[in-house]
Amino acid sequence: MFAYIIRRLVYGVVTLFALSLVVFLLIQFSGGSPLDRLKLNPRMQPVIAQLTELWGLDKPWYEQYFIWLRNFVTPVDVPAQEGLIVVLGKLGIRSWVAIAAAVAAVGYTVALFFVKVKANWWRTFRAFSIILTWLIAFWIIKSRIVFALNWGISFRGDGPVWDNIFGAAGNTFRLGATALLLALIVGIPLGIYQAIKQYSFFDQLGTMLSFITFSTPIFIIGVMLQLILALYMERWTGVKLFYVVGMTSSGYEELGRGLFGLPSLAQLGDVIQHLTLPAISIAAISMAGYSRFQRASMLEVMHSDYLRTAKAKGLPRRTVVVKHALRNALIPIVTLVSLDVAFIIGGAIITESIFGWPGVGRLYIGAIQSIDYPTIMAVVMAIGAGVVVMNIVADILYGVLDPRVRYD
């Protein structure tokens, strides 16, 4: 399986290269220049000439592509001309710790695959321990090596792209992870329950609600939530339950710190009040999708021969559903959820705009409007990398859930 993951990662890198080239060409040939705004002011002429020279905008597209690529992988504060050896020589102790963490994580992953224990619990333990190890390693590596790269300098004059994305990514993650969690914990049990009680009143109601949510555009859901749950709610009852804009209130810092520097309860409450509505907006569609998918896959399993066998063995209905049906019914959902995880990285452009959420989506739309190649490319590459990685994760999860899947 290790060889399989390596092979998939290599394919992934090739895919990302192709992606970067295609997207770069699209931006190049869609017309316009990042400096167009400045042209309105005649006195800007020398600045335009200077920036054109600096950014290489007068060069042919392939040269521009390589300039972008070089900047993308150039570490902070290291001039582009210096080679890799020089870069390594300039790394501080913290960077070396990060490299050690990465090596350790790879080593642990490899080592685990040489341990042969043929049991289900072992497969599960192995999967989780590897994921955990990588999370910890990721935490250490974060902002040391990979993310010490600039990812290029923004054309909008606001510094290295990485700095902008890093800030926005945290915000997007808060919103996206909450939305995903909400979609999962509501959508999947809903689908399962609907399948178990097929054609009941609850099932019909769930189906109807799913179709309504699924077919309502997200900007309508978002605005309706703002209107009903925030504005009208406050007007009619006088209770301010939810906020419609931003991540926290302006007086957030004054709400006091909790123990160990953690947010206080008042701060947590404030965060939830801001988070709820945008999270519901994003979750709504996924939730409807998950519940439909889960219902269909559960129904298929419920009518399968092996479930009849399980019943004929005398297993209680609970065991039949939980042990024999659920695991099989979850397999098809894995792909769906994995790809959703990947797209969370890219942020939710519409929802973030409606709710004034300073995330990647807003950064992205801003970058597109001002033809800021480095930022656009960085977001695209991040989403691309997310899709590649989550596809691999999905395939590994398949193997955990379904013994018929083999990696070779």
Partner 1 sequence: MADPLLNVEDLRTYFSTEEGVVKAVDGVSFKVDAGERRGVVGESGCGKSVTAMSIMRLIEPPAGEIVTGKVEFDGRDLLKLTEADMQQVRGGDIAMIFQDPMTALNPVYTIGDQLIETILLHQDVSKSEARDIAITALDDVQIPHAGKVMEDYPHQFSGGMRQRVMIAMGLSCEPKLLIADEPTTALDVTTQAQIMNLMLELAEQRNTAVLLITHDLGVVAGFCDSIQVMYAGSIVERGTGDEIFHNPQHPYTWGLLGSMTRLDESQQERLNSVRGAPPSLINPPTGCRFGPRCDFAQDICREALPILHQSQEGQKVACHRSDELDLKSIAIGATS
List residues binding partner 1 (CB under 8 A): 118, 120, 199, 304-317, 324, 327-328, 401-404
Which one, 29 or 121, has the nearer CB to partner 1? Answer: 121
* Gap between the Cα atoms of 306 and 323, Å rounded: 12
The residue behind tokens 């040939």 is 29
Nearer to partner 1, 30 or 120 (CB): 120
| Identity of the residue, 37 or 303, whose beta carbon is nearer to partner 1 in the bound complex | 303
DSSP labels, 58-88: TS-HHHHHHHHHHHHTPBTTS-TTS-HHHHH
Q: Which residues pair with 153 in a beta bridge?
A: 160
How far is Cα 171 from Cα 118, in angstroms, rounded to an integer? 42
Closest CA to 71 of 346, 364, 377: 377
Residue 282, both tokens: 């994003």
Residue 41 to residue 52: CA distance in whole angstroms: 16
Q: How far is the CB of 60 from partner 1 (least distance, A)?
A: 55
DSSP secondary structure letter of residue 74? P
* Residue with smaller CB distance to partner 1, 211 or 306: 306
Q: Identify which of residues 163 and 402 has a Cβ nearer to partner 1 in the complex.
A: 402
Q: How far is the CB of 311 from partner 1 (least distance, A)?
A: 6
Q: Tell me how far, at minimum, the Cβ of 84 lies from partner 1, in Å.
A: 47
d(CA 366, CA 384): 19
Q: Least Å distance between CB 294 and partner 1?
A: 17
Minimum gap (Å) between residue 324 Cβ and partner 1: 5
CB of 292 to partner 1, least distance (A): 22
Closer of 90 and 308 to partner 1 (Cβ): 308
CA angle, corner 186, sides to 283 and 138, nearest 5? 65
Hunting for tokens 């054609």 — which residue is that?
199
Helix axes 201-215, 265-302, angle to 10 degrees: 120
